[in-house]
A and B are shown apart, each in its own frame.
Chain A
Amino acid sequence: MSRQKRSKNAPRTGSLKTVSIPIKGSTLLDVENLTVTFPTVRGPVDVVKDSSFRIDPGKTLGIVGESGSGKSMTSLAIMGLLPEGGEASGRIRFFGHDLLDRSDREMRRVRGDKIAMIFQDPLSSLNPYYTVGVQIAEAYRAHRGGSKAAAKKVAVDAMRRVKIADPEQRVDHYPHQFSGGMRQRIMIAMALCLEPDLVIADEPTTALDVTVQAQILDLMKELQEETGTGMLFITHDLAVVSEVADEVLVMKGGETMEHGTAEEIFSNPQSSYTTALLDAVPRITDVVGDIKGVSHE
Chain B
Amino acid sequence: MLFYILKRVAAGAIVLFLITVFTYTVFFVLSPDPAYMICGKTCTPDRIADIHEKLGLDKPFWEQIWIFISGLFVGREYGEGVNAVHCTAPCLGYSFQTSQSVFEMIVQRLPVSATLAVGAAVLWLLAGIGGGLIGAVKKGTWWDRGIMVVALSGISLPNYFVALALQYILVVKLKWLPFPTAVPFADDPLQWFQAYIMPWFVLAFMYAAMYTRLVRANVIDTLGQGFIRTARAKGLDPNIVMGKHALRPALTPALTLFGMDFAALLGGALITETVFGLNGVGKLTADSITQNDQPVIMAVTLLAAALVVVANIVVDLLYSVLDPRVRVKAQ
Contacts and interface: CB of A to CB of B under 8 A. Distances in A.
Interface of A: 1, 79, 81, 107-113, 116-117, 119, 121, 124-131, 135, 138-139, 142-143, 174, 176-177, 187, 190
Interface stretch (B76-84, B98-106, B230-238): B230-238
B22 to A, nearest CB: 39
B325 interface: yes
B233 to A, nearest CB: 4
B324 A174 contact: yes
A227 B232 CA distance: 24
Contact of A119 (B226, B236, B328): B226
Which residue of A81, A131, A142 has the most chain B CB atoms within 10 A of its CB atom? Answer: A142
B324 to A, nearest CB: 4
Given A108-B236, A108-B237, A110-B235, A128 B230 contact: no
A177 B230 CA distance: 19
B227 A125 contact: yes
Given A121-B226, A174-B325, A174-B328, A129 B249 contact: yes
B175 interface: no
Nearest to B228: A127
Nearest to B327: A174
A126 B235 contact: no
A111 B245 contact: no
Interface residues of B, number: 23
B95 to A, nearest CB: 49
A170 to B, nearest CB: 14
Interface pairs A-B: 5 shortest CB-CB:
A112-B235, A111-B235, A124-B226, A112-B234, A139-B234
Nearest to B328: A177
B328 A116 contact: no
6 contacts: A81-B232, A125-B227, A139-B235, A142-B237, A143-B235, A190-B234
Contacts of B225: 124
A135 B244 CA distance: 11
B145 interface: no
Which residue of B235, B249, B324 has the most chain A CB atoms within 10 A of its CB atom? Answer: B235
A125 B234 contact: no
A130 B324 CA distance: 8
B241 to A, nearest CB: 10
B229 interface: yes
A48 to B, nearest CB: 18
A139 B236 contact: yes
A125 B228 CA distance: 8
Contacts of A121: 226
A116 B245 CA distance: 18
Contacts of B236: 108, 112, 138-139, 142
B233 A176 contact: no
Given A121-B226, A124-B225, A125-B226, A116 B233 contact: yes
A177 B325 CA distance: 8
A110 B248 CA distance: 26
Contact of A176 (B237, B238, B252, B328): B328
A124 B249 CA distance: 13
B326 to A, nearest CB: 10
Contact of B324 (A108, A109, A129, A143): A129
B253 to A, nearest CB: 12
Contact of A124 (B227, B238, B240): B227
A127 B245 contact: yes
B33 interface: no
Given A128-B227, A142-B240, A143-B235, 11 more contacts: A109-B235, A121-B226, A125-B226, A125-B230, A126-B227, A127-B245, A129-B248, A129-B324, A138-B244, A142-B234, A190-B230
B53 interface: no
Given A128-B323, A129-B248, A119 B230 contact: yes
B325 to A, nearest CB: 5
Which residue of B233, B236, B238, B252 has the most chain A CB atoms within 10 A of its CB atom? Answer: B233
Contacts of B229: 81, 119, 125
Nearest to B230: A125
Nearest to B245: A127
Given A121-B226, A124-B227, A176 B235 contact: no
A177 B235 CA distance: 26
B319 to A, nearest CB: 12
A258 B283 CA distance: 77
Contacts of A107: 235
Contacts of A128: 227, 249, 323-325
A131 B327 CA distance: 13
A125 B224 CA distance: 11
Interface in B254-288: none
A284 to B, nearest CB: 27
A124 B222 CA distance: 11
Contacts of B234: 111-112, 116, 138-139, 142, 190
